[in-house]
A and B are shown apart, each in its own frame.
Chain A
Amino acid sequence: MPADPAPRRVRITDDGPVLLEGPVEVELPDGRRVVSSRPVTALCVCGSSKRYPFCDTSHRRRVRAVPEEER
């Protein structure tokens, strides 16, 4: 397979994850490695994801129709 001449694009979004092109292997601080085989991977950078290191949209603003103290 010929080498891909195009640099890999990494997109930092204004309100959410960092988007990485292509399948990626992510190495975590504890040495654990996780693979995402998606065409694009959303990497959590806010630390809130329950599926860290991948984004699960936990960065979203959360609102309640009924305030907590009234529940």
Chain B
Amino acid sequence: MTTTTDPVRTARPALPTARGPLSGAVLTALGGGGVADRTADVAAADPFGDDLQLALYCCYELHYRGFAGVADDLEWDPALLTLRRELERAFLAALRAAVPGGDDLAAEIDALVVEHVDAPGVSAHLRRHGDLREFREYIALRSIYHLKEADPQAWVIPRLEGQAKAALVTVEHDEYGAGRGERMHARLFADMMRELGLSDAYGHYLDVAPAAVLAEVNLMSLCGLHRELRGALVGQFAVVELTSSPGSDRLVRAAKRLGCGPATEGFYAEHVEADAVHEQVVRHGIIAPLVAEDPAMAADVVFGMQATGVLDGRLSQHLLTSWAAGRSALLRPLADGGAEPPA
């Protein structure tokens, strides 16, 4: 077994630029400057906005790879955790207010496994009309999640029991390349990024990722890190696995039409087949036994599904309206060639 490590892949990301008082406070704390009381700013902030979402993202990143020059033990800094809790409460309250709720799990699943042939969406747009600039923007933004693909869901493993735990690990095992490092989905995504002339350095595009991108990843971290939200994490996971196959197939066609190359086609082709399996495992192996054991979990799973749908809708709208107006969907456009760090 080889033990070489790639310095680019293992490097910690640089701290991003603040987008307001909350992210400014978190970044000050990460720089060792202590945490000021930000209760008034949390109350005034848009819970789906850039400032709060970046602040929350930076708090969560301490649990993944951390940041260059930031002490690892800030992960459990009580003042920073107190601020994170305030940010989480605002985000969670906004999500609860944005979803219809309920506990009709079968209806939620049925709606997800119907293929809406002519529905507008990002993958449908990229398949038929999108240009290479839009495709590369999409990949740059999705890298915020995909370079840590499956990591947020791994937090839930010790929070599940029995069959649900075993089945979730089966899916995660597949996401992590079934024991082969070079087949990890995060690694396949990085291969695609390089093929597209993008930087595959972890966190490279954080500074240009808008709130709608960060919010999706923050939901995963939020639900993964709170036992109370384990059912919601399963719901989030289920939405991704249930809807990924058809969307990935459209992206295979987009990649072919745009001549992206084998790594790009391969990443999405892998997800067509893998997620057709994962759908079945999630429905029959995770959700069914989870709810059979504790029927109260149904409402939590439904919440996770609906919250994921709300955030996916916001991101889709942002991407499609930006592109329709001829604008970049990033906070700053990619440089030509794209591999250079944004200024």
Asked if B170 and A42 sit within 8 Å, CB to CB, the answer is: no
Chain B positions 266-309 with a Cβ under 8 Å from a chain A Cβ: 272-277, 279-281, 284
CB-CB nearest in chain B for A14: B284
> Which A residues touch B178, using CB under 8 A?
37-39
Asked if B277 and A42 sit within 8 Å, CB to CB, the answer is: yes
- Among A41, A42, A62, contact of B115 (Cβ-Cβ < 8 Å): A62
> Which A residues touch B119, using CB under 8 A?
65
- Other 5 A-B pairs with CB < 8 A, given A16-B280, A17-B280, A51-B272: A36-B273, A38-B274, A56-B273, A57-B272, A62-B117
> Which B residues touch A19, using CB under 8 A?
277, 280-281
Query: A56 CB to closest chain B CB, in angstroms?
Result: 5
- Among B117, B174, B277, contact of A55 (Cβ-Cβ < 8 Å): B277
> Which B residues touch A50, using CB under 8 A?
249
Chain A positions 10-25 with a Cβ under 8 Å from a chain B Cβ: 11, 13, 16-17, 19
Interface residues of B (CB under 8 A from A): 113-119, 170, 173-174, 178, 245-246, 249, 272-277, 279-281, 284
- Among B114, B275, B277, B280, contact of A63 (Cβ-Cβ < 8 Å): B114
CB-CB nearest in chain A for B273: A54
> Which A residues touch B273, using CB under 8 A?
36, 38, 42, 51, 54-56
In the complex, A3 has a CB within 8 A of chain B: no
A62 to B115, CA, bound (A): 5
A-B contact count (CB 8 A): 75
> Which A residues touch B249, using CB under 8 A?
50, 56
With A11-B284, A56-B245 already in contact, the answer to whether A40 and B277 are too (CB < 8 A) is yes
In the complex, A8 has a CB within 8 A of chain B: no
Asked if A39 and B174 sit within 8 Å, CB to CB, the answer is: yes
- Among B115, B245, B272, B279, contact of A61 (Cβ-Cβ < 8 Å): B115
Asked if A66 and B284 sit within 8 Å, CB to CB, the answer is: no
- Among B118, B173, B279, B284, contact of A57 (Cβ-Cβ < 8 Å): B279
In the complex, A64 has a CB within 8 A of chain B: yes
Annotate A24-64 by CB proximity to B: 1 below 8 A, 0 otherwise: 00000000000011111110000000110011110011111
Query: A6 CB to closest chain B CB, in angstroms?
Result: 14
CB-CB nearest in chain A for B281: A40
Query: A36 CB to closest chain B CB, in angstroms?
Result: 8
Query: B157 CB to closest chain A CB, in angstroms?
Result: 15
Query: B175 CB to closest chain A CB, in angstroms?
Result: 11
- Among A13, A54, A65, contact of B280 (Cβ-Cβ < 8 Å): A13
> Which B residues touch A39, using CB under 8 A?
170, 173-174, 178
Asked if A63 and B115 sit within 8 Å, CB to CB, the answer is: yes
Asked if B277 and A64 sit within 8 Å, CB to CB, the answer is: no
> Which 3 A-B pairs give the minimum distances between C-beta atoms?
A57-B245, A55-B276, A42-B277
Asked if A54 and B246 sit within 8 Å, CB to CB, the answer is: no
Asked if B117 and A42 sit within 8 Å, CB to CB, the answer is: no
Asked if B276 and A60 sit within 8 Å, CB to CB, the answer is: no
CB-CB nearest in chain B for A57: B245
Query: A38 CB to closest chain B CB, in angstroms?
Result: 6
With A17-B276, A51-B272, A54-B276 already in contact, the answer to whether A38 and B174 are too (CB < 8 A) is yes
